[in-house]
Structure 1
Amino acid sequence: MSAYNRFIEDAAIRFELGHRARWVVRVITAWVDSHPQGLDGLQQQFEQVGLGARFHSWRHPTRLALPIVASELERALGAHTLAMIAHRSGMSPGAFRVVACHLLPGVVGLLSSPTGLDPSTPPTRRARLATPRPLITGGAASRAMYGMALRSLLWTLAVVAVLAVTAWLQLKARTPLWTAQEIPREHDARLSLHQQGTQMQVEGNLPRETDRRRVWNALSAVHGRQNLHGSISLDPRARPAPWLDRLIDDLPVLRGDGLQLAFEGPQLRIDTSGMGDAQRLAISRQLRQDFSALEMSGLWGPGLAALAQLPADADAAQRINALNLTTLKFQPGSTELTGDSRQTLTAVAAALRGVPAGSRVEVAAHTDSAGSTEGNRQLSQLRADALAQALQEHGVAADVLVPAGYGHDHPVADNRSEEGRARNRRVTYRTLQ
């Protein structure tokens, strides 16, 4: 099996793309190959934003390819370019950003290797320009010029005929020759819910009338129309709400006296302080499961509660016990934390900043059993390194942290069930002597 086919098979398994993996890889390959200055020009784009070392490592397959996260990839290529490639590959922009972080380094490596290219890949522009063309002289030149002139005349007549027919059809149908200008989107859609007893206070703005009606009807079905107060305004300048469909589906379970939720663009603020512990935990788990792409604040769970209750003079053992109750999650196949993990990351960093001087804490990442042993071990090590870097950015001393990746070598649950695999995808902490 060629390196190209092995790369596609690995992408199909790791990202659950199935038969679409070959098409996605071809789209990325064609885009890279279409760059006017080739790989050197693309490398310059990465160098301009301080990511030249990453790209350079991809062009040398014998070296360890440095990872890249979605925000860095967007900084190098631009959101518009990523959205365009995602559209061509048939994927949503969010899912494509994650997949591209892992496929682009491999594609660059294949294009850099003369034996790694897909045999069916069309020649590049440089190869086509380098192909010698036969010289035309004498009478052959005259005949060629005559043929070119005749073909140009025929093409001109065909274009005129098409334009004439199109104009006639538009006049016949009285169709205006203009389209409505798109309204520019200037701010995020917003929706806040605050339940007090049986009463629900609703405020917000959404870009479409159908969205307003869907939300209001769903809230009426759950709480009763007589218990709804406030309003949702129509705001065509608001950007579409990516969380709206999922929220409508979850409204029957996202309820309870004292619950407050505030959605605004990519952010979600939560307040469950007026609810019981069991309800707070259930609500937080539901939100983390269904809205992990959003940046959340106000989540509650055993780990966050334990960290909040730590005394200022807590020793290393107390801090480690509390840290091992927390949950940090990564994007599938990525070293980037999910949005719902950022609050937990801040709390973990605060606890580690308080460990006694001279302490060494292992920050270990684990995976489930999906994928190869070596691939999982490498991914878990990259995740541990990325987490250690994020903790340093939150003020934890570098000499305190020892990142380690164990792959799927130490499972705590059965990998044959989704629940067990989810438990095995975890981060653990322990003090080192």
Structure 2
Amino acid sequence: MFGNLLNEVAARFGLNLDKAKLLLGSLIALIFNEKRGGAAGFVDLFRSRGMGGMIDSWIGNGPNDPIDASQLESALGSQEIDAIARQTGVERGVAASALAALLPGTFNTLTEDGRIPTGIPDRIRGFMDSLGDFFRNAGAGALGLGAAAVGGAAHAAGRAGDAIGDVAEGTVDAIGDAGRATVRTVDNAVDRVGDAARSGGIGKWLPWLLLAGLLIAALFWFKGCSKNEATPAPSTAETPTEVAATSVNPRFGFANADGKVTVNGQVASDADKTKLWDALVANFGDGNVMGDITVDPATGAAGWLDKLVALLPDFKAKGLKFDFDGSKLQFDTSAMSDVDRNALMEKLNGAFDGVQILGLDKGTDALAALREGFSGADLVKALSMVNIQFKTGSAEISPASMVLVRNAAEYIKKAPAGTRIEVGGHTDNVGNAAANMGLSGARANAVMAKLVEFGVDAGTLTAKGYGQDKPIADNATDEGKAQNRRIEYTLAQ
């Protein structure tokens, strides 16, 4: 069910498949966490953060709007991301980006009938149960409470499982290692009950029996503790976890407004700050760089720093904005010209290995958000958002757009059997109508030829030029003309 999504995310972020599965399981646990109101509460949470349109696109059919790591953290909170990263053993920045990549397709799968489920669908219980050992070992806390809604115990306990979770979490915080041992004992007892608990009978009373046992065990522990208050045993076992929890992503924000650059960010050392700041001043001038970059030794290594410094001479386009956060690079090119944007895409092609790059092309983001088993209609809608550019007055695809065509080919090859796609070329109304008709046809054929070169079956494609006859915007403005100069994909009959 999640095979293609897991494989794609694992490859994209350099994860092994087991790590990707743990991230997916943790995400599903958060979605169905009854302490937040289950899946309906999850939807409400996103809507309260102004992301209602985004999460609505994940329900039912149609392309899924992408979400980036910063948006995900804004909705869920940094503590949830931190907890998942620690429990799964995935670097925090990678975990946040991978979870963001997993979420649209996962939520779409859970709501494939267009309805928000009230509980975990039976079709994915097997997947979650296969991760039962991981969730039991995770213990209490943000992740543990999310998992309580989906683990084996919840099949029997229902909402009472959250009551146990609340007491278990409070007890763990109060009584330390002995409390955690008690919680593990409760978990093991639930496992041993197995099918008997799930089938009813003792399952009706099991949560409360376990809760009573947990409280009794905590009471005995507190009595023992009071006898030894003067000589508490030193504990250093938690130190590595606490140190790991303080690690944060390296960050760098950049905005170029008419040559005046404003920056912000955080790096791990004074040497990194000096290297970056000196490069900014060298490229933009001492009086043209504003903002601050802070230093915190708890910050992770910025593996992209040297490459970023080398590329700063290419970041002089007016209106360019971007943010590095861990292993994610988010661009805002809305204030840039098409010429500058395409030049930037060409410079960035393959520049940052292992970095997730978002915001340069809406179509690329829309393709990445397609869920497993997408329809032909979903595919052509996303493909038509890909902004392919040509050299002025010709049918030669720009070098910067070649990577977009290659990426489009990979998704077309995954289309449902029997899907046939028309590649349509369109122009604005500048020049001779007959010449525009010929140019649009030549461009459509050029794209089709490249798609075939990149492995698409030629029998599934046709090409047609429409010239200036089907505008989608007003040709009276430069912006409208730019929208009308396009490659549009439709399902062929």
TM-score norm. by structure 2 comes to 0.39
Higher relative contact order structure (alpha carbons within 8 Å, sequence separation ≥ 6): 2
Q: Indicate the structure (1 or 2) with the bigger Cα radius of gyration.
A: 1
Greater helix content: 2
TM-score norm. by structure 1 comes to 0.43
